[in-house]
Structure 1
Amino acid sequence: MPDTNDLKYSWNLSDIFKNTTEFENTKKETLNLLEKIQKFQGILCDSSDNLYKCYSLDEKALQNFEKLYAYGMLMYHSDMANQDGIKMYKEVEALSTKFSVATAFITPEITYADETKIREYIKEERFKNYRRDIKEILEKKKHVLSKEAENILANYSEIFSAPENTFDTMTNTEFKFGTLMNENGEEIELTDSTYSLYLKNKNINVRRQAFNLMYKKYSEFINTITEMYISNVKAKSTTAKLRKYNSSLESATENDDASIKVYNSLIEAVDENIETNYEFLKLKKKLLNLNEMHMYDLYVNPCEEGKDNITFEEAKEEVLKALEILGEEYINKLKEAFDNNWIDVYAKPNKMGGAYSMGVYGVHPFVLTNFVNSKRDVSTIAHELGHSMHSYYSNKTQGIMDSNYTIMVAEVASTVNEILLSNYQIKNEKDNNKKAELIYELLEMVRATFFRQAMFAEFEKIVHEKIENGETLSSEDLNSIYYKLNQKYFGEDVFIDEEIKYEWARIPHFYSDFYVYKYSTGVSAAIAIATKILNKEPGFIDRYIEMLKQGCSKKSIDLLKMVDVDLESKETYCNTIEFYKKYIDELKKCYDL
């Protein structure tokens, strides 16, 4: 068992700042830069010199701030009980607010300036690192209201976010779900965070209890949650119309660098090929050996082979072998990540849970994991290093203002790595039962990320359209819409329990309207890219790496077209379903079905 406190398994934050003195000096310099930036307020667009000088100061301040924020956050997350870390994190959070306040005038001053004049300014070569940002502000100008109206909307923003805040407070702090009897006869309290664990439990009585307790609580408050959700939908719809969008869907997709066509193509493709999902669910039912498969049975893994015991060194070797197809530069950089303290590996007391990758401009990315020797951890490492390599390439190639890739493409590189890893593991696994487990987990990832999120996306679309058409929706209406969608997406081999009609009420993403479809589009793009990589299409990997280098310098849809992925085409989503079908057939072969 390795020493989890060994420094080789921890971050080396001296790559950002050698010591706290350097941190403090950079903070002072940044505050000084923010003061200089504020001197351009009111005169920003008077000349190209003013605009350029302000942006160049902003660029330097942003480079400093990214390092400061990363240093403070990473120190805090490595030990959240350490007082020095807590203090430093609070300092960078306060600096974040100061940064926002100091630079808040830039966007409105460009927006309300003479557009012709601004477009002339940015033709100058010196604006090359700022041109996209300024153009984006000008493009959104048609959706910006008068200064007075914008002020009114800004003052109402807290009121508009009240439904979501109330939902979060109520469901996270006030809901008590009661207790269930586990498989050992112990009485255990059910919480929102443990719910998914109980749904994976091999004991059907434990699963059923968890399911019934969860939705009993939501059923008791369904009218209140309906009011909150409908208010949220109306707020988004009203804001979209005020900003001269035709609908809240148009507003959301345009702001994602996507389009309504992307959204509709996804839902139509799923609708036309939903039988493939039925095929997997029928197979799942057979493997679970159930006469009747309920909604609370869907998360049990019938192919699970028992506890894993994979060392970090074994995980490292497996990830490197699986991803060597991406080329020498990619692999050498991954080796650097493993060997040069980019990763804080093991779960420790007071360490932040979960996993993430944080790109730091001018340094390198940092990865947090909580490695506990499971196969899932190997996949997590591959996933997070996908984010890291995306950040590495974009930060190396672009100026800081063009380096941050959008949410629309954020999960693509990470999921490509997951798929390449799964392919490698399945291909090289000699034990038939273990191979079946790997295939099943890949299928479940696609089902949960593609089909389930598409169902959520369809629910949102139906509800928003009905509200925007002036319909009044009750809790019974929402329950009915959601229940019918479950019937459509799960088919005849799943018993659609009455209680599932309340599930929509516990999905927090619905308050960030039209967010979930990006999970479906992201996994579809990743599957398309991974398939071309595995097929060794000539020159494709070079194009893929080139796409990763672009950051946000191009629109997301155009970036993906660089690797032949068209999110507006149904074919992209049909190919995802073909991939799903291929692995359903592979799983059947494992059991001679």
Structure 2
Amino acid sequence: MRGRIWLSILIGLACVWAVAGAGDLREYEPDPNAERAAVPDGYKWDLAPLYPSAEAWEAARLEILREAPSLARFEGKLSDPAELGDCLRLYFRLHREASHVAMYANLRQNVARADDAASRRVQQALGAMDELMRRAAFIRRETAALPAGALENSFAAEPGLAEYRNYLANLRRRSNRILSPDAERALALLGDNLWAEIDLNEIPSPLEDAFNGLMADMTWPVVRDQRGREVRLSMAGLSVLRRAPEREVRREAYEAYFGMLRRYQHVLGATLGGQVRLDAAYARARGYDSSLEAYLDRDNVPVAVYDNLVGTVNRNLGLLHRYVELRRKVLGLPDVRVSDLYVPLAAEVEESVPFTGARSTLLAALKPLGPEYGAVLAEGLDPASGWLDLYPHRGKQSGAFTFSVYGPHPFVLMNYMNSLDDLSTLAHEYGHALHSHFAMKSRAYPDFRYVSMIAEIASTCNESLLADHLLAGADSPARRAYLLAERLETIRTTIFRQTLFAEFERDIHRMWEAGTPLTPALLDETYRGLIARYYGPGFTLGRDDGMEWAGVPHFYYKYYVWSYATGLSSGIAIADRIRAGGEPAAEAYLEMLRGGGSAPPLELLKRAGVDLTRPDAIEAAMSVFERALDEAEKLLVGQGRRAGRKSDAGGTFGPGRS
């Protein structure tokens, strides 16, 4: 879920550029319906750094199950420094192996979604991790109960414990939230994830499962597409129809979608209300003042950071109101409605960008990050490195993801179709990949994993640098207008829209925690009020627009959406610092990447020059939005778009807009 930044790229001599090891690969035309065997092996990731075979994987899985019970010999003995050290060394050795087992299974499944054996391996891997977590539960209980002085004495007596100092500090930081053994057991049975080793927001709650099941089982309405054909609406179909040039097509699609949600408002209100009640119950059980405080405390983030985002964005809503007015003028509309928000403002460019050209462009765009970053990026972009599974095929997971475990190189899943969008996706995913690379090369295993709050910063910093590189190379007003329009939409959807979501999520939790029942009517009223405030007086609300809350899966992710907005804001702010400050700013940013999880996320961000307790980073993103808006108003207002006309970038303008 993020905006893309695209550009028409002239593929000339750059296309023959190649890194070592990639020269022998034959050209391949991507085909989503091809079998995996048809894709050249050089464009597939190499899982041998994890396990050379499924048999080796199975042996490792069984070894975890065999060794996990041996942790029991340390139970009740962790006040002894030597015993604590031996226990943690065994635990982290098994945990690292279990992570490899889980990663191998997931990577195999992601390129073979219909393979029963691959699915079975995933379940077996999760079973091994669950068994390890169950056997290791006493570690956090006993270490949290140790007096502070006793733990410091242990560090002095056992120098090897220094590697685990941050891990133990994080376990003990919330020791006052631990309940009695019986209460902890009861909360664990109900799914409380406060003490989980992994971020269970990545695993659906039963209420999220119910929401997803209901959305899948709904009979979606029939609407007309751009050609006047009757089509069954779907979420993917809505994403296409909302970009249609014909306003009536867009309007009908949205009205049908919101009308469908209205028909299911009571059950959708029950699932979302149930999620809110569950969040509040977990927080109250552990003595937190609010569910927001409880979930942010997992990553050691104060509530003030969340409120700073909402407050700063609200102070800049005048810019979003200007953007709505720009849309009205460029599209030639009497008013702007929700169905008018996604139709492109400028001509879309559909030139082919083969992987070799994308690779060279990305290396040039990210050159400001310095030679060390560039060398690792060149290695990771070389198909011979085994980092990348590049092309789509039948049975492959859709989208793009980066997977990392400690030890081997990162693994990047793409579905590269030689499109301009894929260039931005590549920049985004390699931001994640290099973040993991630098963290694992600089930190011991217990300090390697960074928290979700900063996960999107490295990826969006790359996107921002790429966008500036492409804008600098734009050689016509049409190209520049297109890029500016895409930058505006990226910030609208990732900062403004996600902050609207975050404000809604915060507000409905507060309502419930204050004793207000969450009825569908109240959810509708609350959401409508936010839409009206965010989009301003030039935006016309439809009758059912407030029902959008009912179809947003992010509201089941438990205070996650805000990190999209802070991630892009921080990424933009860091990219600005690097452009202005050169090598020292780039090195400060790399220090943040190398930090992994060795310090609280706000402290790591400060090393890169970003302080999310202050409005500066978000204001920096707002300044980028304002500058793009200023220029777009000059380039686009009065131009409009005409059917079939060619842009001087070589692309074709889409059909005229209503």
> Normalising to structure 1: TM-score of the pair?
0.95
The aligned residue for residue 9 of structure 1 is 43
Q: Does 1:464 align with 2:498?
A: no
1:262 match: 305
- Structure 2 segments unaligned to the other structure (5+ residues): 1-26, 31-38, 194-203, 639-658
How far the C-alpha of 1:170 sits from its partner, in A, is 1.6
Written as runs of structure 1 = structure 2, the 5 A alignment for 1:434-583 is 434-537=479-582, 539-583=584-628
Structure 1 distance, partners of 2:150, 2:306, is 36
Shift of 1:206: 2.3
* C-alpha distance in structure 2 between counterparts of 1:468 and 1:480, whole Å: 18
Equivalent runs, 1:147-546 vs 2, <5 Å: 147-157=181-191, 161-171=205-215, 173-339=216-382, 340-537=385-582, 539-546=584-591
**CA separation of 1:82/1:502 partners in 2, compared to 1, >3 Å: closer, same or farther?**
closer
Q: Distance in 1 between matches of 2:528 and 2:117?
A: 51
Q: Aligned partners of 2:150, 2:550: CA distance in 1, in Å?
A: 49
- In 2, the alpha carbon distance for the partners of 1:257 and 1:291 equals 48
Check the 8 A contact 1:44/1:106 in 2, yes or no. no
2:150 paired with 1:106: no
1:68 to 101, 113, 116: 101
Q: Secondary structure at the match of 2:366?
A: helix
Q: Cα 1:210–1:578, aligned 2, differ >3 Å: closer, same or farther?
A: same
Quote the Cα distance in structure 2 between the aligned partners of 1:294 and 1:423.
30
Secondary structure of the residue aligned to 2:214 is: helix
Q: CA deviation at 1:227?
A: 2.9
Aligned residue number for residue 15 of structure 2: none
Paired residue for 1:91?
Answer: 124
SS at match of 1:39: helix
CA displacement 1:78-110 (0-9 Å, x = unmatched): 233445544443432332332322323322232
Code of the residue aligned with 2:250 in structure 1: it is R
* Residue 504 (structure 1) shift: 1.1
Q: CA deviation at 1:392?
A: 0.2
Using the TM superposition, give the Cα deviation of residue 356 of structure 1 relative to its aligned residue in structure 2, in angstroms: 0.6
Alpha-carbon separation, structure 1, partners of 2:265 and 2:168: 45
**Aligned partners of 1:256, 1:453: CA distance in 2, in Å?**
20
Instruction: Give the counterpart letter for 1:2 in structure 2.
Output: Y
- What's the CA shift for 1:387? 0.3
SS in 2 for 1:362: coil
Partners of 2:546 and 2:83 in 1: how far apart?
Answer: 57
Q: Would the alpha carbon gap of residues 46 and 272 (structure 1) be closer, same or farther in structure 2, given more than 3 Å must change?
A: closer
The structure richer in helix per residue is: 1
- Count of aligned positions: 591
List runs of 5+ in structure 1 lacking aligned partners: none
Which residue type is aligned with residue 49 of structure 1?
A
CA distance 1:112–1:169, shift in 2 (3 Å): farther
The letter of the residue matching 2:343 is V
Query: After the TM superposition, which of the residue ranges 194-203 and 575-584 deviates more from structure 2?
Result: 194-203
> Which SS does the other structure have where 1:188 is aligned?
strand
Moved more, 470-479 or 407-416: 470-479
Mapped partners of 2:192, 2:457: distance in 1: 33
Cα distance in 1 for residues equivalent to 2:437 and 2:355: 23
Q: RCO higher in 1 or 2 (8 Å CA, sep ≥ 6)?
A: 2
1:305-345, Cα deviation, whole Å (9 max, x unpaired): 24231111111111111011111111111111122221111
Residues 100, 450 of structure 1: alpha-carbon distance in 2 compared, 3 angstrom cutoff: same
Distance 2:241 2:303 in 1: 38
Instruction: Please say which of residues 53-62 and 544-553 is displaced more in the overlay.
Output: 53-62
How far off is 1:3 after superposition?
Answer: 5.3
- The change in CA–CA distance for 1:541 and 1:161 in structure 2 (over 3 A counts) is closer
On the 8 A contact 2:79/2:150 being kept in 1, the answer is no
Corresponding residue of 1:136: 170
Do 1:344 and 1:369's aligned partners in 2 also have CA atoms closer than 8 Å? yes
Q: Partner of 2:327: helix, strand, or coil?
A: helix
Instruction: Tell me, in whole angstroms, the C-alpha distance in 1 between the residues paired with 2:392 and 2:255.
Output: 33
Contact persistence 2:233–2:253 (CA under 8 A): yes
Instruction: Quote how far apart the aligned CAs of 1:562 are.
Output: 0.7
Q: How far apart, CA to CA, are the structure 2 residues paired with 1:83 and 1:182?
A: 37
Q: State the identity %.
A: 29
Contact map agreement 1:241 1:247 (CA 8 A) in 2: yes
Q: Do 1:305 and 1:434's aligned partners in 2 also have CA atoms closer than 8 Å?
A: no
Q: How many angstroms does 1:161 deviate by?
A: 4.8
After superposition, the C-alpha distances for 1:368-397 in whole angstroms (9 at most, x for unaligned) are 000111111000000000000000000111
Cα offsets for 1:472-509 (capped at 9, x unmatched): 34322221111111010001222121211111111222
Q: Distance in 1 between matches of 2:236 and 2:463?
A: 24
